[in-house]
Each structure stands twice: as structure tokens, then as C-alpha cells.
Amino acid sequence: MHVTFSEQELAFQSEVRAFFRDEYPEDIRRKRASGIDLPPEDQVRWQQLLHAKGYAGVNWPVEYGGTGWSPVQKYIYATEEANANAPMVVPFGLSMVGPVIYTFGNEQQKERFLPDILASRVWWCQGYSEPGAGSDLASLKTRADLVGDHFVVNGTKTWTTLGQHADWIFCLVRTNTEVSRRQEGISFLLIDMKTPGVTVTPIILLDGVPEVNEVHFDNVEVPVENLVGEEGKGWTYGKVLLQHERTNIAGVARSRYRAKRLREEAGRSAHGAAPLREDRNFMRRLAALEVELKALEYTELRTLAAVSAGKAPGPESSILKIKGTEIQQALDTLYMRAAGYYALPFVPEQFEADFTGTRVGEGSEARTALRYFNFRKASIYGGSNEIQKNIIAKHVLGL
Amino acid sequence: MDFSLNEVQMMLAESIEKFIANDYNFDTRQKIAATPTGFDTGVWSTFAELGWTAVPFSEADGGFDGGVEEIMVVMQRFGQGLVVEPYLANVILAGGVLKRLANDAQKEQWLQPMIAGELQTALAFAEPQSRYELADVVTSARADGDNWIIDGHKTYVLNGGTADLLIVPARTSGEAGASDGISLFAVATDSDGVTRNAYATVDGLRAAEVQLEGVRVPAAALLGDLNGGFAALEAAVDEATLAVCAEAVGIMRTLTDKTVAFTKSRVQFGVPIASFQALQHRMVDMLTACEQAQSLLLWAVMRYASGAGDARAAVSSIKYLVGTSGQTIGEEAVQMHGGMGVTWDLDVAHYFKRLTAISMLFGDADWHLDRLAT
């Protein structure tokens, strides 16, 4: 029983650490440190640097240009990435549709889509949820009717994150309504956002940011070659994708970084106030959170060890999703409390890259409440935490 | 990175699992717990014969050369079997002090017979006023020629009623509460001036209030250095804390499994109550708490074994988690068993009581969280 890294793993750690130290652009680093939003072009520039280094396809097999890393290497990478406070990779291409295409797509699709995804030349977004299909995703109504060599798509997708920047969208659509189970008759379709009949309307979230969108499809013609895998099997493909998504959502390495930062900041005086370290209530909350986080870190490591031994990530990823998001949200609460009154200004423009006015508050403290509000989404997206509990109840406990 | 047990640990695990499956069912356990001494001497001899009492001692001491990992392997399974035999009191607590401080003669006199299952021992780590502070030792020892005279009151001495030998922390210098100035003495329980009031505890174990009035012991009863006993006392209690956390994790798993199985078989309103979402999500929470506690236990044990600077924080972390989520699992298990859950006949109630006792032993969740919140 041990959690030490092998010499090769330590060498890999040094290599990754050196990359983040030397090749993480200073301007992006500075923006991240002061809570400034990254414009899409910075995001793409960063992902292309990762690609140049060979780090883009973290979960991808080598034959498709991925890293082929072992679970331990992925853990090391996630830790170094978090400790550098590097931007999160936009997951829709690299973490979601990419794996679906290389797992279930045909050769033509692989050749056509994978290189652009890996090189972040094409921005993808996700079309799963609908206004009438949230947790009950299988009730989705967007339909794709085969007419000649085209599907004609009609319907509305929602909660499409960063869809305003997207070039392509992957969708779950209903291609057959004459089915005995609702999970059948759903297909996985790739749609060019520039196709006539696609319109995007923003949804403003409670922090004032148009982060998500509704995407409307009005008689949108989609070539039949954009169907991934078999017609009617989309639900199965989508589930595989969601298991990857849930493991990523846990964000253990990011939370560790944020907890460590918070403990450091608690030792310092801000605005001339006594350091939070002297506040027993605050420190007890932080300590309790650190205990849960350490436990989750080892739950993740145990999952990784099982995956290394050849087991697929199964419904246990739901435990990581639940605990991971609970901890993220608890951290958000603590950051907000740490900021005190300075959590409360609603001046989002001061976190835009071109802001020239006078900032309120130090660092990113005036973002803490906004982040707290924004990340209430964490226990809702990727299948709400209640849905995760249903999954565990059924597939792990056999209830 | 490897979380699996090695071959020797696996064999140890299997031998304990086999014993519990074949020879230690709940009825047997209840009969043993109801006897005056609260444990079975035949079972205890079996533990010694199978080498389990030798686990955390060096080969030189006649042991198995095991550490906290092996203690975890044993205690997690004792938790699942709800074992009442005084393993913690003898092997982890008294043994933990003796292996650290006893000289060769003392080991031969006390440690070896304890490992052989022939001597019952106890560590008197608590006093009425001390609550969970080990250094709060008021019991005193003063030199009288070549002897020591000990006076004081020890409380909740686990296995104290049956013990032949008590290890008694006593103040030989310094202020109350100071860790310096505490010395450890081996005191035969048949010494003049030792009065014991033995009692059962809520979890089916046995403890005793022990009065020491002018108890005279020879110089050879001093374990380790004069005034320097605290570090060994603390180390033994740290290991014991990890041990009961492992036991608790075993109990948490058992309670979760039993609750899931029960709700699948219990029919109300014409359906198994496991079909109710109100219960399903709570059982998922129990499972999640089990996994989290199992994970943190592995971390804490490895951290402690590595001798890292934060070993003490590791102990407090797992004790805090067990004290909070473990207690919740116990309460939920009882609740979901309905009326049966609050009866003496059902094993679930007794697992719950042991978890509750563990939650307070060596510091409750609040006490340990305080140590972490600095």
C-alpha cells in the first residue's frame, strides 16, 4: 500500500511542472490571478499551446493524437495544471465530443473532425438539455427526420454553454418516435452552427453573465454523414460521454488549489482587518472542508487505481461528481465569507480585460459572491446531484 | 500508487474474516458480551494462537513486525464482526506503551505474557477532570526510597476490571496539564491501595473506575524515563485512535450493507421500502460517507506510517470524519430499520452503540476539529 510515484512518474511531474512554469503565457497568468475573464481568443491561444506541447488530448488514445497517459499521469497533470492556476480547457470538444467520435464514429468522421478538435481550431458546444427535458433527458423532443440524404432538424436545445462562440454543436435528437423505450430512437448528430435555420439566443445567469444559450433549430438540414454511430443508439453514446464529464466535474485538483490558497490568505490581514486565522468559526469550517476534500482526493485516487487495473469508470463517478461539486460550492461560500463586504460589489465590467476604471476591492474578492452564485450550477449540471443519487441507488446499491 | 493489501496482510485479513464467519456470529457475540468479564478467554487464546495479538510488535519482541496498516486490517474486520474482546486495551494501548518504553526485563515480565494471551493489561489514559486531554494528569507519584507511591483516580479504564496490570500515567513533576513531568508506571492490580469499580459500557465492552491510594510500586515499575512518559502515551493513543477509526469504518460499511439489504426485503404499502426515493438518496449518502471514510482512513494510515510531520493532523482528520459521518450512518441505519432498529435484539442497534462510543473515545469530532482549525 503506497501512494508514492515511480521514477518515471516523478520525471513526468517535473516535465509538466516545467511546462506550466515556462510556457504558460504571462499575460494569461496575470489575468487569471486578478480574476479577469479570459476572452475566447486567449482561451484558444492557450489550448493551442497545449496542443503544440502534445497535452491537448489528455484522455485520448495515442492513435488519435492523444497523450495515452496512465491514470496516474492524468492525476499528476491535473494537479500541476491546477497549481499553476491555468485556465480550464473548454470541455465540449476535447473532453466530450472527441471521445464520442473516436469511440463510435466512422473513419471519415475521425479524419474530418478529430484533428480540428485536438488543435482547438473548431469550437464545439453541447446540445443535450431542452426546455422540457432537463433531468429527464430521455424525454427530449428535438427531432431529426430523414429526408433523402439529409436529416431535417427541428426543436430547441438549452443551457448551451458558450454556444455564442461555437462553430459546431453535438446534439441528441430523436430520429424515431415508434419505440418501446424512450431511450431508444435517440441519435447523436453533429451540426454546423452556420447552417441556415440555427439561431442562438443568450440566457443571462444570476451573476449577470450570458454564459449559456438557447439554440433553436428551424428546418435545419444536416447531411446524413454527420450521424455518429448507429441511428437510435445516441443515448448509449451520450451516457459514456457523461461518465467522462462527471469525473472531470469533480475538480478535485482545482479545489485543493483553492483550499490551499484560502488557508494562505487567512493568514494575512486584508484591508487592515485581523487575519481570518484568528476567527475560530471560519477556521473550523475550513478545516472540516479540508478533511472532506482530502477524503475525496483519495476516493479519486482509489478510482484511478481501479481504472489503472483495467476497470472502466462506472457509476462511482457519480460519487465523485456529488462530493466534488458540494466541496466546490462550500469553498465558494468560504471565499465569499472571507471577503466580507468586498464580496458584494456588482461591478462585473471591472473583470473584463479592457477595463480602465477604478477597481473596487483587492484581487478577485469582488468576484467571490458572483462566483458563489454562478457555481450553484455545479450541483445542477452534468445530471443534477439528485439524478446522480438515482444512478448510484440503481446501479451500485441495486435499489 | 497501490491501495491493495500485500500477501501477508491478505492472509491476516482472510484468517480474521474466516474466524468471524465461522465462530463469531452475532448471537455468540451477544452471549460473550453478557458474561461478567465481557469477553471470552477461549476466544482470546485463539487470537493469541493465531498470532493476532502479536501483530504490531517487532520480531525481536516476539511480534509480527506489523504497523498501523496491519492494525487497520485487523480492526476494520473486528468492526464488521463487532468483536468485544479487549484487543484495543491490551495490544494497542498497553502494548503500545510497553513496546515503546519497556526495557528487556519489563518486556519479558509484561509484554511477552500479554502477547501470549496470558496477561490482561490496561492503559489508564483518562481521569475524571481530563476529558480528552492526555496531559491533564493529576494522579501523582512521589519517590519514597527506592519505591514510588502513587495516588489518584483514573476513569474509563478499558479492560480495567479484568486487567492484571495497569499502566498508570502519573505526574512526577510540573504543573497539571503540562506534558513534561508525566511518568508511566506498571502497577499490578492486586497491589495494596488499588480499588476498582468495574462496569459495562454502552457498547458491550468493560471499563473501570480505578482509585489509587498510597499504592507502592518498586523502581522497576517505572517505564522509560522519569518525567518523559508523555510521548509514548500520546503515540499509543494516536495508534489506538487510528485503530478505532478503522473499526468504525468496518462498522459503517456493515451498517450500510445491512440497511440496503433490509430495505429491499421490508415490504410496506405493498412494495419494498427500498423503492422509496426518500430512502434511496439517504442510503446513497451512507454509501458516499463510507467511501469517503475508507479513503481518508487509507490516507491517514499511510501518512502516520510515513512518520510525516502532519501525522497528528492525519489522525485528527479521520477521527473527525468518523465522529461526524460515522455517527450519522449509525443514526440513519437505526431510522431506516424502523421500530426494529431501536430493539435490543437487532444487531444494527449494537453496531450503532459501538460507533457512538468510538465517536467519543480519544476525543470527539469537535475536539479533533479544533486541533485542525489552527
How does strand B121-123 pair with strand B165-171?
Answer: parallel
Q: Which three cell numbers stand for residue A361?
A: 476591492
Nearest residue to B122 via CA among B172, B184, B180 = B184
Q: Which three cell numbers stand for residue B142?
A: 512521589
Stretch 288-307 of chain B: residues touching chain A, C-beta under 8 Å: 288, 291-296, 298-299, 301-302
Per-residue pLDDT tens over the stretch A125-182: 999 999 999 989 999 999 999 999 999 999 999 999 999 999 999 999 999 999 999 9
- What predicted TM-score, i.e. pTM, was given to this entire model? 0.94
Strands B222-223 and B206-218: unpaired
List the CATH code of the domain at B231-372: 1.20.140.10
Residues B286 and B256: their CA atoms lie apart, in Å, by 6
Phi and psi at B83, nearest 5°, equal -70, 135
Q: What is the largest CA-CA distance in chain A?
A: 72
Closest CA to B122 of B75, B34, B185: B185
* Cα A223 from chain centroid (whole Å): 29
- Which homologous superfamily does the CATH classification assign to the domain defined by A123-232? Butyryl-CoA Dehydrogenase, subunit A, domain 2 (2.40.110.10)
Under a CB-based contact definition with an 8 Å cutoff, are residues B225 and B217 in contact? no
DSSP string for A311-378: PPP-TTHHHHHHHHHHHHHHHHHHHHHHHGGGG----GGGGSTT--SPPPSSTTGGGHHHHHHHGGGG
DSSP label at residue B290: H
| Residues in CB range of B285: below 8 A, 6 or more apart | A389, B328, B332
Query: Does B22 contact chain A (CB < 8 Å)?
Result: no
Domain boundaries, chain B: 7-119, 122-227, 231-372
The CA angle A168-A173-A175, to the nearest 5 degrees, is 130
pLDDT (mean) for B91-109: 98
For B315-346, what is each residue's pLDDT tens digit?
A: 999 999 999 999 999 999 999 999 999 999 99
> Is residue A46 within 8 Å of A90, Cβ to Cβ?
no
Tens-digit pLDDT profile for residues A83-124:
999 999 999 999 999 999 999 999 999 999 999 999 999 999
What is residue A244's predicted lDDT score, i.e. its pLDDT?
65
Average pLDDT over residues A322-335: 97
pLDDT, residue B122, reads: 98
Decide if B176 contacts B137 (C-beta within 8 A): yes
Look at residue B273 in the predicted model and tell me its pLDDT: 97
For residue B222, give the 3-state DSSP assignment: strand
pLDDT in tens, A18-45: 999 999 999 999 999 888 889 999 999 9
Instruction: Give the closest-approach CA distance of A302 to chain B in angstroms.
Output: 7
Q: Is A178 part of the annotated catalytic residue set?
A: no
Q: Report the pLDDT averaged over residues A275-299.
A: 96
Which residues on B lie below 8 Å from A295 (Cβ)?
292-293, 295-296, 299, 321
Q: CA of B90 to nearest chain A CA: how many angstroms apart? A: 26
Determine the pLDDT at residue A246.
Answer: 64
Query: What average pLDDT does chain A have?
Result: 93
CA distance B248 to B300: 14
- d(C-alpha A247, C-alpha A329), whole Å: 17
pLDDT tens column, A198-214: 999 999 999 999 999 99
- Which letter, b or e, does each residue of A96-109 get, where b requires 16 or more Cβ atoms within 10 Å of its Cβ? bbbbbbbebbeeeb
CATH architecture of the domain with range B122-227: Beta Barrel (2.40)
- Chain A nearest C-alpha distance from B268 (Å): 15
Q: Tell me what pLDDT residue A308 has.
A: 76
Assign A364 a pLDDT band (cuts: 50, 70, 90): confident
Q: Check: CATH 1.20.120.140 for A250-395?
A: no
Give CA–CA dist A180/A67, Å, rounded.
41
Which CATH entry fits the domain spanning B7-119: 1.20.120.80, 1.10.540.10, 3.40.50.620, 1.20.1090.10?
Answer: 1.10.540.10
Q: What's the pLDDT band for B81 if we cut at 50, 70, 90? A: very high
Are both A123-232 and A250-395 of the same fold? no
Provide mean pLDDT across the span B255-284.
98
Domain ranges of chain A: 7-89, 123-232, 250-395
How many other CB atoms are there within 10 angstroms of residue A368's CB atom?
24
On whether the CB atoms of residues B142 and B175 are closer than 8 A, the answer is no
